[in-house]
Amino acid sequence: MEVVLTINPGSTSTKIGLFSRDKKIKGKSIDHSHDKIANMLSIKKQLPLRLNVIKDTIERWINGNKLVAVVGRGGLIGPIDSGVYEVNDELKDVTINCKYAIHASNLGPSLADGIAKKHNVPAFIADPVTVDEMIPEARISGVPEIERRSRLHTLNIRACVRKAARKLGQDKTHYNFIVNHMGGGISIAPIRKGRIIDVNDALLGMGPFSPERAGALPLEGIIRMARSEEYSNIGKLFKKLTKESGVKGYLGTGDMREVMQMIEQGNKKAKLVYKAMIYQNAKEIGAMATTLEGQVDRIIYTGGMAHNEKIINDLHSRVKFIAPKIVFPGENELVSLAEGGFRALDGKTKIKTYKQKEFAEVGK
């Protein structure tokens, strides 16, 4: 049986899966929180350790099957078109050296390539987080020196759009959607006839605060923080805004399961912060509805928080006048990577070549 291996590296884990065209055969989340990787800040230094762990696991999995491709999460690689890309030297260089931004997903292309070369099969990435299909007017920030960026949970968002279109009975180009991906970061994107025309920038941009990230902030407050002694180091400020803010900044935890328990136990602060997060998500959905001129077929809720029925109900009650909802809980990244690999192998999508573009390196 022909199988595709998928690899999704995170900050403290590496998720891998083995898929046929019809189903998931094997899956595992390899925990790194208690090994050397947890204390290694350098993405490049983590590569050989993660690669060895994956190799040890998959050798037992592939037995009796034919590996035909390896697909890794794409990482932060600068603005590109959506689709499936074959891993090449330029792609590995820009990710493993973190030229665009630092994130564990930057290990994806090199990990996929390391396994693929051993088995003499192609290595791909699919729909990385920097896919950019934004319309020109969405890029204008209000400051000529700053352009709005497209950084979002592209992989899961595009997979949800395909699933929603199939559910409704037509090709994705027949519909307009708003997708709200709610995880550690939150992406809210309007999809017009299959194209992601805008997004809030889920890493460090606009939109609602999330369990860990700050979202849009009053500019004067940001300026004062940057000029303070505590956050004069830009790296420390980045960490504060991307990993130690949002719900976690207020309540000390970004785990929404814990937050919901706090609310049930009568914690008023937790209830207020939760209501504010729901409120900001609803505002952003409303804003994105205007980009589609109110012509929205469905609002799609996805990501880890979509498993919680109360969160979905509380949020959708504010925006149900815009469109009915569809809920696809979870991130579904491994299966989405596998689908991309098989679409490429079966000729259903063109395999693209990555070309490094000019952009400012991290911190410049």
Terminal CA-CA length for the chain: 48
Tell me, rounded to whole angstroms, the distance of Cα 311 from its chain centroid: 20
Q: Which residues are within 8 A (CB) of 129 and not within 5 positions of it... i.e. 6 or more apart?
A: 74, 75, 76, 103, 105, 151, 152, 153, 154, 155, 202, 203
C-alpha atoms less than 13 angstroms from C-alpha of 234 in its C-beta half-sphere = 3
| pTM flag (> 0.85) | yes
Are 286 and 321 in contact by the 8 Å Cβ rule? The answer is no
> Which of 123, 125, 80, 70 minimizes the C-alpha distance to 100?
80
Q: Give CA–CA dist 138/201, Å, rounded.
A: 11
**Tokens describing residue 19:** 């898929």
What is the full DSSP assignment across 88-132? -HHHHHHHHTTSS---GGGGHHHHHHHHHHHHT--EEEES-TTB-
157 beta partners: none
* Residue 15, helix vs strand vs coil: strand
Query: CB–CB of 303/181 below 8 Å?
Result: yes
Q: How far apart are CA 203 and CA 285, in angstroms?
A: 17
CB 328 within 8 A of CB 301: yes
Domains assigned to the chain? 2-134+333-353 (3.30.420.40), 154-329 (3.30.420.40)
In order along its 364 residues, the chain shows pLDDT tens digits of 999 999 999 877 899 999 999 999 999 998 876 666 656 768 898 999 899 989 988 888 888 889 999 999 998 898 999 999 999 999 999 999 998 888 889 999 999 999 999 999 999 999 998 999 999 999 999 999 999 999 999 999 999 999 999 999 999 999 999 999 999 899 999 999 999 999 998 888 899 999 999 999 999 999 999 999 999 888 899 989 998 999 999 999 999 999 999 999 999 999 999 999 999 999 999 999 999 999 999 999 999 999 999 999 999 999 999 999 999 999 888 999 999 999 999 999 999 999 876 544 443 3
Cα–Cα distance measured from residue 260 to residue 95, given in angstroms and rounded to the nearest whole number: 37
Helix (H, G, I), strand (E, B) or coil at 68: strand
The DSSP H or E segment spanning 60 is helix 43-62
φ, ψ for residue 48, nearest 5 deg: -65, -35
- Model pLDDT, residue 235: 86
